[in-house]
Amino acid sequence: MSSTMAPPSLSHRRSVAEGDRIFTLWARATAAAAFFLLFAGGMVTSTGSGLAVPDWPLSFGGMNPPMIGGIFFEHGHRLIAGAVALMSLGCVLLSRRNAVPSAARSAANLAAGGILIQASLGGLTVLLKLPPSVSISHACLGQAVFCVLFASAVLSVPGSTFGPGYSRVFRFSVLGFSAAFLQLALGALVRHTGQGLNWHILWASSVVVLWALAAYTAWRSHAAVLRVPSRILALAVPLQIALGLFALRVRLDSTLILGFREAAVWRTLHLSGGALTLAAFLLLALKSRRTAEAS
């Protein structure tokens, strides 16, 4: 019996090692759509359109309200969220294919569950008239769901055999990811309450320190598998700092003349830069867990 069962097991391992290109492409597209959803959600807050549509899950009792003013941002955000939810369901279904690694499958399932909770929080923000605690939770969970979808795409790539890897790079990357996530939470506090700006600015220094340590240790390792992720991280954090400084200027400098929507776009780009920073730390953390043989 063991001889008859061995070939399927060997075939399954070979299949997983080769990966599933269809799932990988779909997971990447879903993560990209989730990133765009973060931008769309940020524009809702930046333009003050959170209650432009006062009912939920429908919009003025239907699915096709006039796309004018704040309704464009709020209802558009809902439409994009629905598309991302359907795409995440597609990830779950495609993850059942034999060649999809178990880690990628677990991440896809976790993301789908997170999206259901995220949709509920989004509804509560409208029905409860934008309570800060719910709005901040909604913002933070959106970032977390994006990261899990991104991880699912990374983990599905063939050859991603994970093990001890480069432990120092991994530790600094995880710490940097955690610090960046807290920084985003502080940013959400500022956006939804107008409080905590000083803490948000001060905490950025910890992200910068951990960014420098993670990028430097990755560079010192001379590992080919870490070359691209470390370069992405090296660019992501300075870009985010620049966006943050300009967003701060938009917020505080009364002499800066920008149109309403233009100012909203710049503030939202800072939020999107935070998502890119999270993804950069996460990518380096995941790649640094690859075994020496896989690198």
Domain that holds residue 221: 160-295
Decide which of 119, 141, 158 is a domain's last residue. Answer: 158
pTM of the model: 0.89
Question: Same structural domain for residues 142 and 173?
Answer: no
Question: Same structural domain for residues 113 and 166?
Answer: no
CA distance 26 to 32: 10
pLDDT, position 294? 42
Question: Same structural domain for residues 101 and 215?
Answer: no
DSSP-H helix ranges across the chain:
2-18, 21-46, 69-94, 102-127, 132-155, 167-193, 197-221, 224-252, 260-288
Question: Same structural domain for residues 85 and 182?
Answer: no
pLDDT per position as a tens digit, 167-223: 899 999 999 999 999 999 999 999 999 999 999 999 999 999 999 999 999 999 888
Question: Same structural domain for residues 291 and 169?
Answer: yes
Question: Same structural domain for residues 222 and 111?
Answer: no
First to last CA, the chain: 36
Is 160 a residue whose pLDDT tops 70? no
Question: Same structural domain for residues 72 and 173?
Answer: no
Q: What residues contact residue 28 under an 8 Å CB cut-off, 6+ apart?
A: 153
Q: Is residue 77 part of a domain?
A: yes
The total of structural domains in the chain comes to: 2
* Residues in the chain, overall count: 295
pLDDT per position as a tens digit, 217-240: 999 988 888 999 999 999 999 999
pLDDT per position as a tens digit, 13-53: 555 556 789 999 999 999 999 999 999 999 999 999 999 99
CA distance 170 to 17: 23
Q: Is residue 232 part of a domain?
A: yes
* SS3 state at 290: strand
Decide which of 158, 193, 208 is a domain's last residue. Answer: 158
pLDDT, position 145? 97
Is 164 a residue whose pLDDT tops 60? no
CA distance 292 to 40: 40
pLDDT per position as a tens digit, 98-135: 999 999 999 999 999 999 999 999 999 999 999 999 99
Decide which of 120, 138, 158 is a domain's last residue. Answer: 158
Question: Same structural domain for residues 65 and 166?
Answer: no
